[in-house]
Amino acid sequence: LILLGRALGGLHWPCLVDHLLGYHKTFKEKQRKINIMWGSGFKASKLKPQLKMAVSRFQISANKKSALLKQQMREVAVLLAEDPPREEKARIRAEACIREDNTVEAYEILQLECELLAERIKLLENMKDCPPDLVSIVSTIIWASDRVEISELNTIRKQFRAKYGKEFEANAINNVGGVLNERVVAKLSIHPPAAYLVQVYLERICEQHEVEWKPKHRLNANEMAEPMSAPYGYSVQVAGASGLGEVTTGTIHTDQEGGKTDDASSMGMGSVPAAAVATPYNPSAPPSAATRQTGGDLEEVDIFVPAIPAPPTNDPNKPRGFGGDDDDLPPAAPSNGTGPMHQSGGGGGSYANLVSRFNNLKS
């Protein structure tokens, strides 16, 4: 240490400092040449073609998104033209339309910025620091490289990082000093649009496609500035798959005599016949007389049986025949067992046998 101190003490310190600074500059220059040789440094000849390609890519993407946006707007109009309107689904589609519209707008701004940088490439190459009037443009392109679907911006970002350093890149990403383009930042934001903006888009889409629609859910003052609320299904049709419409379930109470006590129309059942709700089903109870008269599958069929004539008698005090004026009729012939009644039954009990046969038919 003593010898080192004596050696350093004999040196001239200003000359030593100049020597170290010169060595540092030489080292940085050699490092820059090595980076250019291996393609890791800033190259204006590489940056300009990438800027030109980014301009064309922005134009193609904007045209494609514009065509898809028109198709989405027609789909929103179809949803609102249905009966009933599918308002909640249309609001979600409208939010997607707003996002696509904002992306196309941001693409057009970034396209102009890339075109300007391509025209001023010589200025960027010859100046060590970024020109003050281009700081906002360069920072905005660096910030948007991770938020758009343009791959050329990643290469452009690497060129600017090699030119101006990592600190400049970090300041652009974090928007230090508010140097970014506010309109591009707003259009590429990840936050959902306000509910009022969605409502305005729906109304203008209906006006453009001549659809008569009025919002079922009106926005109040507090909801206008907030994002659109989550759907809870008020626009979803009840029993939409079967097409039967709304059916309200409930119980119809009846009294003991079978009379209806609840109003069926108030329960969402429409016009219900009285016979369908008046008589409750009771398996243990026998069918009533009114039910038998109406006719059923297991009802007993009534058979008409004529009245049996009174037996003949020789008593002058009792009526003869069928109860009419039988005074002129001749007296009954004596029974000898040869008549038609006696042929079927035989014997003197033929009349009683006929009565029993009639009783068997009735039972």
Distance separating alpha carbons of residues 161 and 94, to the nearest angstrom: 39
CA distance 136 to 147: 17
- Report how far residue 108's alpha carbon sits from residue 62's, in angstroms, rounded to the nearest whole number: 7
- What pLDDT tens digit does each residue of the chain (363 aa) get? 555 555 555 555 555 556 566 665 676 666 666 654 544 578 889 999 999 999 999 999 999 999 999 999 999 999 999 888 888 899 999 999 999 999 999 999 999 999 999 999 999 999 989 999 999 999 999 999 999 999 999 999 999 999 999 999 999 999 999 999 999 999 999 999 999 999 999 999 999 999 988 887 777 777 788 887 787 777 777 776 777 766 555 554 444 444 444 444 444 444 444 444 444 444 444 444 444 444 444 444 455 555 555 555 555 555 554 444 444 444 544 444 444 444 444 444 577 888 888 888 876
Model pLDDT, residue 66: 95
Integer angstrom CA distances of residue 273 from 190, 252, 307: 59, 13, 42
Give me the DSSP letters along 134-155.
Answer: GHHHHHHHHHHTTTSS-THHHH
The string over 69-105, giving b where at least 16 C-beta atoms fall within 10 Å of a residue's C-beta and e elsewhere, is beebbeebbebbbeeebbbbbbbebbbebbbbbbbbb
Alpha helix positions (H), the chain: 2-9, 13-37, 44-81, 87-119, 121-126, 135-144, 152-164, 166-174, 182-187, 195-208, 221-224, 274-278, 289-294, 340-345, 350-362
Q: CB–CB of 134/181 below 8 Å?
A: no
Question: What is residue 89's three-state secondary structure?
Answer: helix
- pLDDT for 234 equals 72
Tell me which DSSP letter residue 310 carries.
Answer: P
Burial zone of 243 (CB within 10 Å; 0-12 exposed, 13-18 middle, 19+ buried): exposed
- Alpha carbon of residue 153 to chain centroid: 37
CA separation (Å) from 124 to 121, 133, 134?
5, 12, 9
3 state SS of 255: coil
| pLDDT reported for residue 229 | 76
For 16, 22, 91, 163, 174, the CA distances from 27, given in Å and listed in that order, are: 17, 9, 61, 17, 31
pLDDT at residue 236, rounded to an integer: 78
